[in-house]
Amino acid sequence: MTTIPSTSAPVRRDKSRIRVRNTVLTILTYLIAIAFLFPLVWMFLAAFKTEAEAFASPPVFAFTPILENFKNALPSYFPALKNSLVAAVGSTLLAFALGLPAAFALAVYPTRRAQGTLTWMLSTKMMPAVGVIVPLFLLFRNLHLLDTLPGLILMYTTMNLPLVVWMMHSYMTEIPFAIYEAAKVDGASVAQEFFGIALPLSTPGMAATALLAVIFAWNEVFFAVNLTSSDAAPLSVFISSFKTSMGLFWAQMSAAAALTVLPVLIFGWVAQRQLVRGLSFGAVK
Amino acid sequence: MTTAVRPTTTTASPPAPKRGLRLTPAALIWPAMLYLILTTQVPFFMTVYYSFFNYNLVIPDNRPFIGFGNYATLLTNPQNLQVVLNTVILAGGTLILTLFIGGAMAMLLNRNFPGRGLLRTLMISSFLVMPIVTAVVWKNMLLNPVFGFFSWLVASLGGQPVDWLAQYPMASVIAMITWEWTPFAMLILLTGLQSLPDDQLEAARLDGASPMQEFRHIVMPHWTQAIQVVVLMETIALLQVYGEIYGSTSGGPGLATTNLPYFIYQKAFAEYNIGLASAAGVITVILTNILAVYLLRMINRTNQSNKGG
């Protein structure tokens, strides 16, 4: 009986020690997160400063926010925004048009060859862009596709097609097979299975996949820099024009960058769970 | 009904159902296959072809066949070995840092505390930022020797202001890309941790396992797969880093931060040396694909085990 008080005291001390440890770890987590967010916060803050405040040293933390930078950045921002939107949405649509039927066929009619096809499609994603850029550049030049949106859409489709096939394949295999079998018994054609069952039942997957494809196309730099110059230049090329500004227009640059990053941030936060699936090609769920 | 049918089948009349089923899936797969073949495989073989010629766009009509001459030039010039070394240091250094920081952050976020969901969401932000924005913002606003935030931070702590990109170019670039890729590692590793069943940990604790033993024998084996995914996905992506370098150092000073993709860009689009750029492209593809083989094997294995379970 005498053991009871002697054991309960250390247990209580243990508990309070664990609580202290937990609090310390939580504070540490917050500190690391703040450190990681700082560059972005600093950029967003600068977007609302005057140019003088933006590159004042020591840095200015308290200031009256202004909207002038956004007003100044907008005229050159809009054409690039239009190009980014068209390239991202256009390539996503094209990748869906090509990828959805393939994903459906590979999911609903799996054969030994289907697995190989799927793997091969993923392997095209392993192809560094630098391994194909030279012939593509020469080809685009001859076909007058350089600095055009169709040209950019074609390349972004290549980039997103394996993603669409893989993600949609994984969503479509989750549809209970019995539904297809029931439809088949009723005499449904392949097209009816595709439009009547597979597509409606994988709508959430399609939304997640589309978000990811748009994000990847939106953020792409290599093809944008090498295949466009002015007419079709998307936001990535527009922002890179600030790389030589040598600190002259930090506030305006921050405003343009903020406008460029914000839509993707919001998309990414929303699609966070699906992000893991898309980024690891389903290897980690 | 016929209005809904897309023109994917070449046979107009409805054939016997069984034959239709056997024909149509292939017809559904081929457009995607063909597209990828035309935009990846064909250009790659053209790259291989160009790599055997002394081909410069400035003199497009005269391109003599030189066999492995471009490869010999690439592999014997010590400057180019520097570029290969840079590529490896950049990818390897960033990978190690993101694994450790991302892993630590994943463990910290795998606990219950107020604001956890919000922090998790906010932490992925830097991965979503366009690489060129990262480069431009870091270069101008953080790493600038006079007005940059980091220089002020160092100065206010009593140190000397530093011209980061000039004095420590590779370290600066690695820091920048680590900032970008840590959320990726964190996200995948956190998902890996969360799929660890609680009862396994509890059983280990009941058996009197110390936290270290618990980590080594329960957490690590379960984590291996997520770690593999991070290693391989990041390696492939980091070997291809371009936008960050293009936007910040332009490969400099000198060759200090030139990696293979940036080198190929310079050879092809600044010097118009198509032959040499192609050879470097082929080498990059070979390097990447050695790693890709491992990745594909692993993911196939996972897919099969997922189907089994």
CATH number, domain of B219, equals 1.10.3720.10
Shortest distance, CA B76 to any CA of chain A (angstroms) = 21
- Which pLDDT does position A281 carry in this prediction? 75
The number of distinct structural domains making up chain A is 2
Q: Return d(Cα A154, Cα A95) in angstroms, integer.
A: 9
Residue A53 lies in a domain: no
The reply to whether residue A268 touches residue B4, judged by beta carbons under 8 angstroms, is no
Same-domain status, A82 and A175: yes
Q: Return d(Cα A171, Cα A104) in angstroms, integer.
A: 10
Residue A175 lies in a domain: yes
Residue B297 lies in a domain: no
Residue A61 lies in a domain: no
Residue A153 lies in a domain: yes
Q: What is the pLDDT of residues A7-26, one digit of tens each?
A: 455 566 678 888 888 899 99
Same-domain status, A210 and A120: yes
CATH no. for residue A274? 1.10.3720.10
Interface test with A, best of B52, B122, B136, B282 (most A CBs within 10 A): B136
Residue A98 lies in a domain: yes
- Which pLDDT does position B308 carry in this prediction? 43
The reported pTM is: 0.85
Q: Return d(Cα A135, Cα B104) in angstroms, integer.
A: 43
Question: Which residues on A lie below 8 Å from B296 (Cβ)?
Answer: 119, 122-123, 126
Query: In which band, very low, low, confident or very high, does the pLDDT at A109 lie, cut at 50, 70 and 90?
Result: confident
More confident residue, B245 or A112: B245
pLDDT tens digit at each of 309 positions of chain B: 334 444 444 444 444 444 444 457 788 899 999 999 999 999 999 999 999 988 888 887 888 888 888 899 888 888 888 898 999 999 999 999 999 999 999 999 998 889 889 999 999 999 999 999 999 889 888 888 877 888 888 888 888 878 888 889 999 999 999 999 999 999 999 999 988 888 888 888 888 888 888 888 888 888 888 888 898 888 888 988 998 999 888 887 888 899 999 999 998 888 888 899 999 999 888 888 887 777 667 766 765 665 543
- Which pLDDT does position B140 carry in this prediction? 84
Same-domain status, A82 and A32: no
Print the SS3 string covering chain B: CHHHCCCCCCCCCCCCHHHHHHHHHHHHHHHHHHHHHHHHHHHHHHHHHHCCECCECCECCCCCECCCHHHHHHHHCHHHHHHHHHHHHHHHHHHHHHHHHHHHHHHHHCCCCCCHHHHHHHHCHHHHCCHHHHHHHHHHHHCCCCCCHHHHHHHHCCCCCCCHHHHCHHHHHHHHHHHHHHHHHHHHHHHHHHCCCHHHHHHHHHCCCCHHHHHHHHHHHHHHHHHHHHHHHHHHHHCCCCHHHHHCCCCCCCCCCCCHHHHHHHHHHCCCEHHHHHHHHHHHHHHHHHHHHHHHHHHHHHHHHHHHC
Shortest distance, CA A1 to any CA of chain B (angstroms) = 23
**Which residues lie closer than 8 Å to B172 by C-beta, 6 or more apart?**
B138, B143, B164, B165, B248, B249
Same-domain status, A42 and A76: no
Q: What is the pLDDT of residues A57-97, one digit of tens each?
A: 778 787 888 888 898 888 888 999 999 999 999 999 999 99
Residue A277 lies in a domain: yes
Query: In which band, very low, low, confident or very high, does the pLDDT at A243 lie, cut at 50, 70 and 90?
Result: confident
A residues 30-69 lying closer than 8 A (beta carbon) to B: 30, 32-33, 36-37, 39-40, 42-43, 46, 54-59
Residue A86 lies in a domain: yes
Domain that holds residue A34: 16-47
Look up residue A190 and give its amino acid.
V
Residue B66 lies in a domain: no
Dihedral angle sign, alpha carbons of residues A151, A153, A156, A160: negative
Same-domain status, A224 and A93: yes
Contact between A218 and A235 (Cβ < 8 Å): yes
Residue A6 lies in a domain: no
Residue B119 lies in a domain: yes
Q: Return d(Cα A220, Cα B224) in angstroms, integer.
A: 30
Question: Which residues on B lie below 8 Å from A156 (Cβ)?
Answer: none
Residue B21 lies in a domain: no
Same-domain status, A148 and A198: yes
The reply to whether residue B39 touches residue A155, judged by beta carbons under 8 angstroms, is yes
Same-domain status, A146 and A230: yes
Is the pLDDT at A1 greater than 70, yes or no? Answer: no
Question: Which residues on A lie below 8 Å from B271 (Cβ)?
Answer: none
- Which pLDDT does position B11 carry in this prediction? 43
Contact between B237 and A284 (Cβ < 8 Å): no
Interface test with B, best of A122, A235, A280 (most B CBs within 10 A): A280
- Of A209, A127, A192, A157, the C-alpha closest to B34 is A157
Residue B74 lies in a domain: no
Q: Return d(Cα B41, Cα B191) in angstroms, integer.
A: 34
- Which pLDDT does position A10 carry in this prediction? 57
Same-domain status, A88 and A34: no
The reply to whether residue B128 touches residue A155, judged by beta carbons under 8 angstroms, is no
The reply to whether residue B25 touches residue A257, judged by beta carbons under 8 angstroms, is no
- The tokens for A85 are 């939107």
Question: Which residues on B lie below 8 Å from A168 (Cβ)?
Answer: none
Same-domain status, A273 and A135: yes
- Which pLDDT does position B55 carry in this prediction? 85
- Does residue A115 sit at the B interface (CB-CB below 8 Å)? yes
The reply to whether residue B147 touches residue A57, judged by beta carbons under 8 angstroms, is yes
The number of distinct structural domains making up chain B is 1
Q: What is the DSSP string of A96-115?
A: HHHHHHHHHHHHHS--HHHH
- Which pLDDT does position B182 carry in this prediction? 96
- The tokens for A264 are 């993707």
A vs B: CB pairs below 8 A:
326
- Of B35, B29, B44, the C-alpha closest to A116 is B29
Same-domain status, A126 and A182: yes
C-alpha of A31 from chain center: 26
pLDDT (mean) for A145-162: 93
- The widest CA-to-CA distance across chain B, in whole angstroms, is 83
Same-domain status, A175 and A274: yes
Long-range contacts of B293-297 (CB under 8 A, 24+ apart): B294/B232, B295/A126, B295/B232, B295/B233, B295/B236, B296/A119, B296/A122, B296/A123, B296/A126
Domain that holds residue B218: 86-279
Residue B78 lies in a domain: no
Same-domain status, A81 and A165: yes
Rg of chain A (C-alpha set): 26
